[in-house]
Structure 1
Amino acid sequence: MLAAMATAYRCPQDGTRADVSSLTWCCPVCRGPWDLDFEIAGPVRPGALSGRVNSLWRYEEVLPLGSPTTTLGEGRTPLVPLTGTVSAKLDFLMPTLSFKDRGAVMLAELARRLSPERVVADSSGNAGTAVAAYCARAGLPCTVYVPEGTSPKKTEQIRAHGARLEIVPGDRESTALAARAAADAPGTFYASHVFNPYFLHGTKTYVYELWEDLGGRLPDAIAVPVGNGTLLLGAALAIAELRAQGLIDTGPALIAVQAEAVSPLAAAFHAGADSLPDTPPGAASPTLAEGIAIPRPPRARAILAAVRESGGTFLTVTEDQIRSAQLDLAARGFYVETTGVACWAAVGGWTDRSVVVPLCGAGLKTGLAA
């Protein structure tokens, strides 16, 4: 089997390039996130998948890394119907109980190959627990920065995996700034689920699994919760690749869901803007959906473009809708954390087209909404 090839990091804003073997974490010119110049090795053949490993690594032709030693068996989560038109993909059944494992395994495997002195990450919780777990698997020293107020269950999990925990006063934005300052130290690999594009090539396997489970097709729409947009951008990557391989004719609409309390992307989308305003936002309002409470996502422009190109839209949900959705899913047998129920809150009543929602994180990570 020929391996896929990642040739360089590339800045989508100014075209600056860097070698993928370097520890650079952002464009040195604009300080923005990297994209990945990437060539898939060939089309994924449905008939060739049956004998392969039962994890996301079965899609080896389209992954930027192969032959991993860091894997915990992530991927291949169940797809189950909730209604006649809405199905759920149970990504809370991942090794660290969230979908972030899809991208974290890519970052940890890349870091293992680069042999940095240290790994740092920042997170509202789930990405941090995933990076901590996979760094433990890879034998890498890891420090995770989280905002004060992060769920104690998540910080407990980070510590349990042996990572050093740095609790940052303030909000998610303050936490990201602290981690980025640490990431500039020599010998540091910044395992950023936002800035490093290898993470997106992990989350794209979510859609490859849907395509396989649905017999070589995709639903009419895919709903995803959006803060930094890593699942949505991964989905857009997979859809583009499947179309380029001739495996689907048209892609599904991407339905981006935000908490009404913190919804900068939804506001920009409905205002017809292609980016967020330059003016700094005020303090973020509190929301039960802590995992998507991101006032200034660095990949905002790409997220807005991906939703528009798919024919999708942005939806927002209230705190009461989040509470009700969590209880409703629990009554159906699924105990999901508050961020992970946002899509069910938004599209659970749809009857006119097929849609898949991700149940992104286990309820044990945050508990029941008050």
Structure 2
Amino acid sequence: MTPLPDSFCPSDGTRVPSGSLAWCCPLCRGPLDLDFSPTPAPLKSLTGRANSLWRYAEVLPLATPSVSLGEGRTPLVALKDGISAKLDYLTPTLSFKDRGAVMLAELALRLRPSRIIADSSGNAGTAIAAYCARAALPCTVYVPFGTPSKKLEQIRAHGARVEVVRGGREATASVAREAADDPDAFYASHAFNPYFLHGTKTYVHELWEDLGGRLPQVLVVPAGNGTLLLGAALAVAELYGAGLLDRRPALYAVQAEAVAPLAAAWRAGADDLVEETPARDTVAEGIAIPRPPRARQILRAVRDSGGTFATVTEDQIRHAQLDLASRGLYVEATAAACWAAVRDGALGERTAVVPLCGAGLKSGLAAATP
């Protein structure tokens, strides 16, 4: 069995030994990173490997999977004007969160906690519930009041216990973290646990392979907790560092205008979140994160890539969701946010890929403005 890497705090350098159930830095309570710098395999060596994200074994901190559901290797289809969509809603639980959830379930199997705790606005909780079911691990998912009923139904169907918190996303995370402080609990947090990011990075490794060893000029990514964005940055660094890319793509991070703390910090030229502004309701509930724990890392990753932030209105998201549906792609509102940001030519002549991260069946079409 492959030894687990240690974790460390990117803010103060505090190290956490492998095998620990600690979910955050013991000093600052911030998220952890992995002490793990892999080298990707050359393109030609990937031929004939498993048709899942596990084909990129060299860059994964866990090997020999036992709970895989065939996650990854999702299609890439053209939209228009040099922009393509990666259909990451075509995964076992119908969202890209499967990429990270399978890593957390594999890790939990190694650590053998008494229970697994997660918090989510729906998709991450669903994915973690499914992979815990696959691994026969007990799981409790905390969700905010107002989580779409279809997502709750899916979580419960996988056998997880659902705890509905009377409050928004921040209140839900607070309750879950309190429960996760139990020394025998495993906090399957897509925001805090670095293994999740090493799952989501396979999104970019797949793009690189499917595009014949290159990447588009722009990677358009949603920015809530930033798990896909930071995973993308990890993959780009790995590929570029190994000499498998001749240039790094720009990260074009998208937030809903109603909840855009990262975009506000970006406009202010800040390295971290600036003064808190009241969040409003948004149909893109999956990226409605008022205080993402990895804000500093997200802002730095976008800046280092030469990218930028964009915000989209509720009407833009709704129109983008309908536009994608008219093209045969039925996704949830959150998944339409990236297309909303670029479909009218914001990227000019540059090539780009947008992720379609969650299926429309999870929450239906966003209601029209009254």
TM-score of the superposed pair, with normalisation by structure 2: 0.97
- Which stretches in structure 1 are left out of the alignment for 5+ residues? none
Specify the SS of the correspondent of 1:91.
coil
Q: Which residue of 2 aligns with 1:156?
A: 153
Q: Which residue of 2 aligns with 1:90?
A: 87
Deviations 1:225-267 (A, max 9, x none): 1100000000000000001111002110000000000001001
Which stretch shows the higher mean deviation, 228-237 or 268-277?
268-277
**Does structure 2 conserve the Cα–Cα contact (< 8 Å) formed by 1:233 and 1:303?**
yes
Are 1:170 and 2:167 matched, yes or no? yes
Shift of 1:186: 2.2
Which amino acid is the alignment partner of residue 302 of structure 1?
Answer: Q
Deviations 1:176-198 (A, max 9, x none): 00000000012100000000000
Specify the SS of the correspondent of 1:28.
coil
The structure 2 residue matched to 1:52, chosen from 46, 49, 54, is 49
* Separation of aligned partners in 1, 2:83 and 2:27: 44
Q: Which residue of 1 aligns with 2:283?
A: 288
Q: Which residue of 1 aligns with 2:212?
A: 215
* Separation of aligned partners in 2, 1:220 and 1:287: 29
Shift of 1:48: 1.2
Q: Which residue of 2 aligns with 1:33?
A: 31
Are 1:347 and 2:342 matched, yes or no? yes
Which amino acid is the alignment partner of residue 208 of structure 1?
Answer: H
Aligned residue runs from structure 1 range 107-186, under 5 A: 107-186=104-183
Q: Which residue of 2 aligns with 1:317?
A: 312
Which amino acid is the alignment partner of residue 322 of structure 1?
Answer: I
The structure 2 residue matched to 1:254, chosen from 251, 254, 261, is 251
* Separation of aligned partners in 2, 1:213 and 1:248: 14
Are 1:368 and 2:369 matched, yes or no? no
**Does structure 1 conserve the Cα–Cα contact (< 8 Å) formed by 2:338 and 2:355?**
yes
- Which stretches in structure 2 are left out of the alignment for 5+ residues? none
* Separation of aligned partners in 1, 2:262 and 2:42: 36
Shift of 1:99: 0.2
* Separation of aligned partners in 2, 1:20 and 1:209: 28
**Does structure 1 conserve the Cα–Cα contact (< 8 Å) formed by 2:100 and 2:195?**
yes
**Does structure 2 conserve the Cα–Cα contact (< 8 Å) formed by 1:127 and 1:193?**
yes
Which amino acid is the alignment partner of residue 30 of structure 1?
Answer: C
Q: Which residue of 1 aligns with 2:302?
A: 307
Which amino acid is the alignment partner of residue 168 of structure 1?
Answer: V
Shift of 1:19: 1.1
Shift of 1:282: 5.4
Which amino acid is the alignment partner of residue 8 of structure 1?
Answer: D
Q: Which residue of 2 aligns with 1:335?
A: 330
Specify the SS of the correspondent of 1:322.
helix
**Does structure 2 conserve the Cα–Cα contact (< 8 Å) formed by 1:211 and 1:217?**
yes
Specify the SS of the correspondent of 1:93.
coil
* Separation of aligned partners in 1, 2:164 and 2:277: 22
* Separation of aligned partners in 2, 1:18 and 1:306: 23
**Does structure 2 conserve the Cα–Cα contact (< 8 Å) formed by 1:121 and 1:128?**
yes
Specify the SS of the correspondent of 1:357.
strand
Specify the SS of the correspondent of 2:35.
strand
**Does structure 2 conserve the Cα–Cα contact (< 8 Å) formed by 1:120 and 1:182?**
yes
Q: Which residue of 1 aligns with 2:11?
A: 13
* Separation of aligned partners in 1, 2:141 and 2:281: 22
**Does structure 2 conserve the Cα–Cα contact (< 8 Å) formed by 1:6 and 1:37?**
no
Which stretch shows the higher mean deviation, 285-294 or 341-350?
341-350
Between the two proteins, the alignment pairs up a number of residues equal to 365
Which amino acid is the alignment partner of residue 192 of structure 2?
Answer: F
Shift of 1:47: 1.0
* Separation of aligned partners in 2, 1:164 and 1:43: 38
Residues 353, 282 of structure 1: CA spacing in aligned structure 2 closer, same or farther, 3 A cutoff?
closer
Which stretch shows the higher mean deviation, 346-355 or 13-22?
346-355
* Separation of aligned partners in 1, 2:125 and 2:40: 33
* Separation of aligned partners in 1, 2:226 and 2:242: 24
Paired-residue identity, %? 71
Q: CA RMSD in A?
A: 1.2
**Does structure 2 conserve the Cα–Cα contact (< 8 Å) formed by 1:85 and 1:354?**
yes
* Separation of aligned partners in 1, 2:160 and 2:277: 32
**Does structure 1 conserve the Cα–Cα contact (< 8 Å) formed by 2:40 and 2:56?**
no
**Does structure 2 conserve the Cα–Cα contact (< 8 Å) formed by 1:6 and 1:36?**
no
Shift of 1:7: 2.5
